[in-house]
Amino acid sequence: STPKPSSAASDVYKRQLSVGLLFNFYRRKSFLFALLFMSIIFSGFRYDAGNDFFSYLDMLIGVKNYDQLEFLAVKLIDLSYLVGTPTFFYLVTSLIYISVLGYALCRAHALSFTSVFLLLFFTASWLTSFGYIRQFVSISFFFLSFVFLFERKYFFYLLFAIISFFFHKSALVTIPAVLFYVVFARQERSVVYYAIVLIVSLIAKDLLVYLIRYFGIFTQYIEFSINSYGVGIFKVLLFVLVVNVGVAKFLKVKNDNFWIYSNMLFFGVLLYGALLSFGEYVVRVAYFFVPFFYVSSAYLIDELGARWKLLMLAFYIVIGSFTYYYTLYLAGANPTRDFLTNYKFVLFL
């Protein structure tokens, strides 16, 4: 019998996990590339999956104006309209998101079962890209730009940062992120240092909320209510950061790359916590820093002995699987529209 559309995401999870585990046995990168290819096909030929799916579909068939979008997003929609099928847009954006992140992982020497598994199943990652299409294409270029920045290849950093911005304006977060990298992120810090920065950021957040409320500026862009789903993602990101850094501190991990990527994730967590009071739409800018978790985790696994490696790998599988299925649960329980588990595989719309 034909499987129900709601089971499609669960089925692809099982297949991709099986292929990933084969990589662990045979150590062939071809299994990881197969995982990424499967993901492109699954998301590229989708129908009714992603909370903005029909909004983009209306743009692609010419019934909704999209001139207000960023330059490269507009051009890609124009091209899709010329090709004659909306599927072109969903397929190309899926191809860009997965391929650019895959290339970034390779360039960072972090393409592994751990990083690919987290890319596909961790919160605010592949499943979420179905809905926030422009932003996640932008995230892929944003992350690649920082890989080049860490290599001190400033021309390519600037190039991909600009491309990222022309897919989604929130990529301007690259400016404070670069400043944070220069001042804070290039080396391991003490636990006390992390705690002080976290406390200062929370105080600054409360002060900012007070000033906005007092003077009434920018209130039209801000919701002073905290979405429980947003809080959940913040807690997960903070939890995995504490676990990674805690294990690294305990085992005295000295890998500079691990600390750079962990510190950039720390900046994302700080940003997320600071913006929680401003509503779901504002806080999504912190999603730009989730890919740093994929790489820091891959580096950490490489630094561990056999027992700790197995323990942390189990941790990543559990946390990734939990957030993947919890995202599906939230989509199915959404009172407005089930934006994921109605998924259907359609070759051409």
Q: Report the pLDDT value the prediction gives residue 1, as an integer from 0 to 100.
A: 38
Under DSSP, is residue 344 helix (H, G, I), strand (E, B) or coil?
strand
Q: How many whole angstroms from its chain centre is CA 134? A: 12
Under DSSP, is residue 99 helix (H, G, I), strand (E, B) or coil?
helix
DSSP letters along 255-307, please?
-HHHHHHHHHHHHHHHHHHHHGGG-HHHHGGGGGGTHHHHHHHHHHHHHS-HH
Under DSSP, is residue 235 helix (H, G, I), strand (E, B) or coil?
helix
**11-41: per-residue pLDDT in tens?**
676 666 666 666 665 567 888 898 899 999 9
Question: By the 8 A CB rule, do 248 and 270 touch?
Answer: no
**227-251: per-residue pLDDT in tens?**
555 789 999 999 999 999 999 999 9
Question: By the 8 A CB rule, do 24 and 309 touch?
Answer: no
Amino acid in the structure at residue 262: S
pTM of the model: 0.91
What is the longest distance spanned by two Cα atoms in the chain? 61
- pLDDT category at 191 given cuts 50, 70, 90 is confident
